[in-house]
Structure 1
């Protein structure tokens, strides 16, 4: 069940959004995402202007996600609330039909994985992204996941372009069935996500 839709959304919450690992999403997570993006983009160097740019993007994403998913308006989004919002806004939809802030986050993710900024995520960049997001003890499973992502055009190019990444990300969130997009973030394991009590 590691690649079930439910587990994929658990992965997104735990490894992409819930940066402080407190069991829910809130504004602080998105401030942390902005700082992370600034440092990654600068290859370790800090730029206040870049931080402001990323804060604008990430706080816009937080506001849109909060509008879509904070059903009880407590300033926190539980995993269940996030899943419900994804069901309403992403299931059966293509990237172009996703909420604007989510599309910006997807594009931001591509940029963070494409370390050399050449417009293609290679196997090496994919490996790096996987092992820095969660515990992996078998590089062959990472390489197999990357291979499962690729279509013939990707193989000819030597990796995944932004438009292909957008398509795969839309499948990861919006396609409840098995598809190549389920491997977008590497070999997943089942994630037991316990809700934090208010």
Structure 2
């Protein structure tokens, strides 16, 4: 298939250029293990790679990506809790100093939550998506009442609301709340505008997303 062949072209550039330049860095992470200071929870969208946006070196950030950059609330019931496991590993084992929830513009997951596009699929196409973005149902209703469910203004409000909800959900994890209260862990929200190439950071005092210089 040509798609994988194209990837291999990039791999060869990596082997010829990037890997030799970063060899010392890779060797250090092998010898000492990984010690990232930040956990970034981002969206799976192919246009918003955190490593590219923040221009970081290998080992600098621990990244979890999923549809709409969501964090479910803490729970102890059975199931496959991939995001929760990654958060636990980063916070408890790697002892990251900060957790950044990074949403983005034109997020299809947030749009699906807002419009309930896959709500009536009945285990058909989109059922997994509908169940996942259902985490946003409560905040979605607030956005819909204020802005409706169509147009960029409503979509942006939904994207911002999703970031705030994931931060609230992070605080339901006991060890996250304890570390935040002790001042050893900082939670942040961010939104990357694909159209502008600008990162907006959440000001927790005002609740506004402000552009970074």
Task: State the TM-score, normalized to the length of structure 2.
Answer: 0.29
* Greater per-residue strand proportion: 2
Task: State the TM-score, normalized to the length of structure 1.
Answer: 0.31
The higher relative CO (CA closer than 8 Å, separation ≥ 6) is in 1
* Greater per-residue helix proportion: 1
